[in-house]
Each structure stands twice: as structure tokens, then as C-alpha cells.
Amino acid sequence: MLCSEIIRVIEASYPADAALDFDNVGLLAGRSEKEVGKIYLALDATDEVIRHALDEGADMLVTHHPLIFSPLKHITDGDFTGRRLLSLIRGDISYYAMHTNYDVLGMAELSGQILGLSDAEVLDVTMERDGKEEGIGRVGNLASPLTLEECSLYVKHKLNLGSLKVFGDMERRVHRLAISPGSGKSSIAPAIAKGADVLVTGDIGHHEGLDAVAQGLSVIDAGHYGTEYIFLDDMKRFFADRLPGIEVVSEPVVHPFQVI
């Protein structure tokens, strides 16, 4: 199957125009007419991921985060981005990224389902599709009120994480939960506006956490990777359902840092 045909399958569900304005999604390197028999899935196009894709004999690499985000002035072996792109091109691997278009049309609903939210709605609306609001994250109700400590343990279990960072009174009871996978500083205001008691997200700094608590919002920082690696299994199922003749291999789930 041609890479261009696979792209049409992806974009039938996750069109590029659903991505946010700042983003860079789509075919970022390689040949659209490449014959694809094997796809390699990963969250990021790291050196290790590209090596694994080459070792697996993959014809196409699909990641969540785009390797090319800011404009490039050159592609050489003088920097890590250039070296990665050269490795992909030398290996004749077509490289496709699906970032905020997947966040809006896939990750948001999936994350709410994993955390068992009821009466869920879009946290931060970015578009309307087929008469339905879509956007970043979800906000809804837990099955029953929990203390922040109990909620943190629940999130840790549901996302299968080793650790969390929590801002707020651990004895406070929370019921309405917002989740914004990835880097969620910008989701603090929408979560407050939609009456959330607690926000689950990643990449929350000291000041953002303190300021959120001061406004009545507890924050569970489950990590950028910890809230987004769900992309891997979801897209593996997506390809299995729609492209049964294509072999799909995904990068093992390995968190990018350790807490000691």
C-alpha cells in the first residue's frame, strides 16, 4: 500500500486542518509514493526510535510529536534534528506526524474514557465538526467524590504510572475532573471556567501549580509522556481495524526520565 493511501486513511479520521495553528503535522520527510508494508509507531522521533524503525525494516514511521516543529534553515549532520532526518531519508522511511489533530479528535475523548468520566464535555473547544464541538481535553465527573489523595492514586492506577506530582490539599474532596494530555499549562483557565475541582495534565511548573491552587483548582501532574503514551495502543488498534494487511510495530512504553 502506498504511503499516500495510508495518509488518506489517517486523515479521514484525523484531518490536518483539525490541528492547531502553531502545529506542524502531516508527511514531514520521505516519499509519498513509498510502498509500505510495515509501520513503526512512536510518541517521538528520537535517535533510538529511528534506529528501532530501521532495525525493524519499517517503511513508514508515525509519531505523535513532530520532529520538525520550528522552521529549519539547513538539514545536515551538524545537529540532532538534521541527523535524524538524514537517517530517515537514507533508510527510505516515510515520516508522518499527527499531533494536535490527534489531540483534538482522538486523545481528548480517549483520555476521558480511561479515567471513567461521566457527562464528559470538551475542555477547550477549538473547532466544530459535523455539528459537534471538538477540542483539547475533557471535563466530567468521577463516579463518586474522592479526596485528592484518593483521586491521585486512582489516576496513577488508570494511567499505570510510577509517580505523580500533586498540587493541592490532599484531604480536599474532588468530584469534577478535567484532563488535558500533554503540556497543560494553558488548560488551567478552561478547567477553572468549567468548574473542575482537579486538572490532570503534564509539565506544570511551580508557579502554575501554586496559582491554580490559589484559584481553587488542584492539579495532578501525571507527566507529558505519562498522559500521552496512550496514543500508541490507540493508533495500533486504528491501523489494525483499517489496514489489516499492514504490519504495525510500536515502540515499547519507556518513560523518558526516572524519579529516584
**For 1-19, what is each residue's pLDDT tens digit?**
999 999 999 999 999 999 9
Residues sharing a CB contact under 8 Å with residue 259, sequence separation 6 or more, in sequence order: 162, 163
Residues sharing a CB contact under 8 Å with residue 258, sequence separation 6 or more, in sequence order: none
Q: Specify the CATH class of 3-99+229-250 in words.
A: alpha beta
Global pTM exceeds 0.85 = yes
| Average pLDDT rounded to a whole number, residues 104-125 | 98
Report the pLDDT value the prediction gives residue 38, as an integer from 0 to 100. Answer: 98
Report the pLDDT value the prediction gives residue 40, as an integer from 0 to 100. Answer: 98
**For 147-168, what is each residue's pLDDT tens digit?**
999 999 999 999 999 999 999 9
User: pLDDT class for 66, splitting at 50, 70, 90?
Assistant: very high
| Average pLDDT rounded to a whole number, residues 205-223 | 98
Report the pLDDT value the prediction gives residue 6, as an integer from 0 to 100. Answer: 98
Report the pLDDT value the prediction gives residue 178, as an integer from 0 to 100. Answer: 98
Domain with residues 102-227, CATH architecture:
3-Layer(aba) Sandwich (3.40)
Q: Please state, in angstroms and rounded to a whole number, the distance separating the CA atoms of residues 35 and 207.
A: 49
Task: Name the nearest CA neighbour of 178 among 139, 120, 226.
Answer: 139
As a whole number of Å, the CA-based R_g of the chain is 19
**For 77-110, what is each residue's pLDDT tens digit?**
999 999 999 999 999 999 999 999 999 999 999 9
Report the pLDDT value the prediction gives residue 79, as an integer from 0 to 100. Answer: 94
- Domain definitions of the chain by residue range: 3-99+229-250, 102-227
